[in-house]
Structure 1
Amino acid sequence: MQILNAKLYIPPPRPNLVARPKLIAQLDEGLRLGCKLSLVCAPAGFGKTTLVSAWVHDLRQRVPVAWLSIDEEDNDSQRFAVYVVAALRTLLSASDAENFGAHFLTEIHTPHHISGDVMAQVREQVAILLNDIAALPEKFVLVLDDYYLLNDPRIEQGMVFLLAHQPPQMHLVITSRTTPSLPLARLRARAQLTELNADNLRFTPDEANLFFDQTMGLALSSEHITQLEMRTEGWAAGLQMAALSMQGVADKASFIQTFAGDDHYILDYLLEEVLRRQPEAVQDFMLRTSVLERMCGPLCDAILGMGARELGSKGDISSPLPPVPVSQTTLEYLERANLFIVPLDNKHQWYRYHHLFGELLRHRLEQKMGEAAVMALHQA
């Protein structure tokens, strides 16, 4: 199998990058304390890769760093294993790299005719790789970027086993749009996990000011920056698209007043990166529930049930969802998947959509169903 070396390169820091020393310090502290895993988990466009690449760019002067940029084709246990070994080999000299992981790769490519526990076989194979990792002489960091693209059960089981038996010189960093199927609660309880989420990654007004001035070359008043920071909720991609939309606009104050989820840059990004990637039933759920300012499971069930009874043939929308109380489960899925949903209470029963994402959903809902049908949902 041919290795694409570009997937193993650490992305270079972007020019005029806004420094984020508090977040860098948190990642440094997790490494210093010997945590097994640093997890940077947030929706699309929150700057996960940008932050981690900036961190390791300086870190690798002190600690060796291996990097793997994951893509959709890596959602295959053999291919993923080959690329993990290739990434780890970048830490070694040419002579040492040739032998590292060789037994492991031979084992995963050898057909096994067994009728027993397939996952037990996966654990035995990962144990071979762990022995090679344990023999490495110094501390190192392995970054798995865009981990959300992986859902192969063999990969998930192998990663669970790796974390359980991870050698002390290894520190794993994962960036993901969705919460990975890993024993996070156990790691959290044992103080072996560093976590950064959307709340940590969202830009403060001061950082937004630096971004517009330093990165995008836009001089805005503090009032306008505060307005944009509130509209985007500190979402880095939202700030960038606002800046792109403002280029060449004379009346920036009027633009900021009307900036919303139907801005063409925002619309294209959220449609391509978020909405269209979801199953049709999930898209349907999000569109219909977008009329709610606050939502909980029973309230969403009522909206969906009303949609099934009253709107089924009135609007151009997919088949009505079954009138069963599944909404709480769907809300929990949206939260795990970081689909621009914000919990409003500690029990995670009440939620709302991110402002710009909610506006996009309502815009799409009206396009699909018509204004009258949307008004009927509002009145439900």
Structure 2
Amino acid sequence: MNPPTPVMAAKLYIPSPRVKAVHRPRLIERLNEGLDRKLTLISASAGFGKTTLAGAWAAGCPRPLAWLTLDEGDNEVSRFLTHVVAALKTISEPIGDDVLRLLQSERPPSAESMLAMVLNDLSRLAFPFVLVLDDYHVLSARPVTECMNVLLEHAPLSMHLVIVTRENPPFPLGRLRARGHLTELRAADLCFTREEAAEFLREMVGFSLTAGQIASLESRTEGWIAGLQLAALSMRGREDITAFIRAFAGDNRYIVDYLVEEVLERLPEEMRDFLLHTSILDRLHGPLCDAVTGQEGGSARLRHLEEGNFFVVALDDARQWYRYHHLFAEVLSAHLKADRPERAAELH
């Protein structure tokens, strides 16, 4: 017998709502409207409030809801299945009992077989329910991603799956979209509106900014929530708020630290170099990127960056032209000039 995989209870908790969180009824309504579809996808870069939104919605969800926050360790199949079953047991205790026993056997059956057993248990539930998988982008092992495709394909009608991720999952999104099975919330949806930005900044800095100051910050950050939060942190204790906002850019130390830690350091060196070298461009196009970098595959890299939500904004529906998020472009440009000043001149 194999020892049972310990369950980390903290992974099953719905995140507690923030005390001064901005209420977002327009997005909560869209999530509720999507309950009768198969899948809801909340997909955007770091700092767009994905988990905060999902947690606020989950806390008031009208259906029984299971929550699982994934981590790198869940790329091991037995651990992944153990935690999925543990999450589903918060809805109905008998779910997955046979699977947990099989996972401890010397020769457990295939992951697909055990997942089929879980799906059979779920199909016997007499009520609709929700399964939320947060931080889905950490899953990369093929056996686990294949399990997820089976789960999505054969999920009972009573089950609604919510995926919260920084990158698009390898699901047949086009087919799901065409069949009306998919609800999507992406960066453009998650960005704060002018009114939400005003409420957020008022709570963060402790006083009201002028309409012009709010508009300037909202424009500079493009509604990116983490950018607004970092701007608010930088404003604390400053006397000349107007001068700070006028100068606020991608060289702000909080912005630089966040984007370097959360984005750049997580990328392979080849992709990081591509970002740095193409940061000199106001608009990005595959052949243009190839001309600047002296390499090939610029179009594929841009599509990969878009699918991975790496602060790339599409400028047309044909996926030909893009640009970087303004603050992200400024961080890249600052890094290029600081680390490789002679390279910057050559690229220009």
TM-score bracket for this pair, using the shorter chain length: over 0.9
Question: What is the aligned partner in structure 2 of residue 91 from structure 1?
Answer: 91
Work out the number of aligned pairs and report it.
Answer: 344
Would you say 1:152 and 2:141 are equivalent positions?
Answer: yes
Q: Does 1:73 align with 2:42?
A: no
Q: Is the 8 A contact 1:65 1:140 kept in 2?
A: yes
- Note if 1:20 corresponds to 2:9: no
| 2:280 match | 291
- For 2:197, the equivalent position in structure 1 comes to 208
Pairing 1:346-357 to 2, within 5 Å after superposition: 346-357=317-328
| Partner of residue 37, structure 2 | 35
Superposition pairs for residues 264-343 of structure 1, below 5 Å? Answer: 264-305=253-294, 323=295, 325-343=296-314
Partners of 1:335 and 1:231 in 2: CA distance: 21
Deviation of the 1:35 alpha carbon: 0.5
**In structure 2, C-alpha distance between the alignment counterparts of 1:208 and 1:21, rounded to whole Å:** 15
Q: 1:282, CA displacement in angstroms?
A: 0.4
**AA matched with 2:345:** M
Q: Deviations over 1:128-152 (max 9, x none)?
A: 1100111122111111001000011
Question: Percent identity of the aligned residues?
Answer: 49
1:112 Cα deviation from its structure 2 partner: 5.4
Q: Deviations over 1:303-324 (max 9, x none)?
A: 111xxxxxxxxxxxxxxxxx3x
| One-letter identity of the residue aligned with 2:346 | A
Aligned equivalent of 1:164: 153
Instruction: Tell me, yes or no, if structure 1 residue 248 matches structure 2 residue 233.
Output: no
TM-fit CA distance, 1:265: 0.8
Aligned-partner SS, 2:144: helix
- TM-score normalised according to structure 1 size: 0.88
Does the CA-based 8 Å contact 2:204-2:229 persist in structure 1? no
Q: Offset of 1:330 from its aligned partner?
A: 0.8
* Offset of residue 374 of structure 1: 1.1
**1:314 alignment counterpart:** none
Match of 1:373 among 324, 343, 346: 343
Structure-to-structure mapping, 1:219-258, within 5 angstroms? 219-258=208-247
Indicate the SS of the match to 2:60.
helix
Alpha carbons 1:18, 1:215 under 8 Å: kept: no
SS at match of 2:67: strand
Instruction: Provide the rounded CA distance (Å) in 2 between the counterparts of 1:326 and 1:110.
Output: 47
Q: Distance in 1 between matches of 2:127 and 2:205?
A: 40
Assess if the C-alpha contact under 8 Å between 1:16 and 1:214 holds in 2: yes
> Could you list the per-position Cα deviations for residues 283-338 of structure 1 after superposition, in whole angstroms to 9, with x for gaps in the alignment?
00000000000011100001111xxxxxxxxxxxxxxxxx3x21111111111110
| Cα offset, 1:124, TM superposition | 2.7
C-alpha deviation, 1:85, in angstroms: 0.5
Q: CA RMSD in A?
A: 1.5
For structure 1, list consecutive stretches of 5 or more residues without a partner in the other structure.
115-120, 306-322
Does the residue aligned with 1:151 lie in a helix, a strand or coil?
Answer: coil
Letter in 2 for 1:283: R
* SS in structure 2 of the partner of residue 38 of structure 1: strand
The CA deviation at 1:215 is 4.4
Partner of 2:15: 11
Q: 1:362 aligns with which of 324, 330, 333?
A: 333
- Of 60, 68, 90, which aligns to 1:58? 60
Amino acid at match of 1:3: V
Gaps of 5+ in 2: none
* Distance in structure 1 (CA, Å) of the matches to 2:240 and 2:264: 31
Distance 1:12 1:357 in 2: 29
SS in 2 for 1:195: strand
Matched, 1:100 2:95: yes
User: Separation in 1 of the partners of 2:188 and 2:269?
Assistant: 28
- The answer to whether the 8 Å contact 2:204/2:232 transfers is no
Provide TM-score, normalisation by structure 2.
Answer: 0.95
Deviations 1:150-183 (A, max 9, x none): 0111111111111111111111111000000112
C-alpha change, 1:152 and 1:221, in structure 2 (3 Å) is same
Does the C-alpha gap of structure 1 residues 113 and 71 become closer, same or farther in structure 2, counting only changes over 3 Å? closer
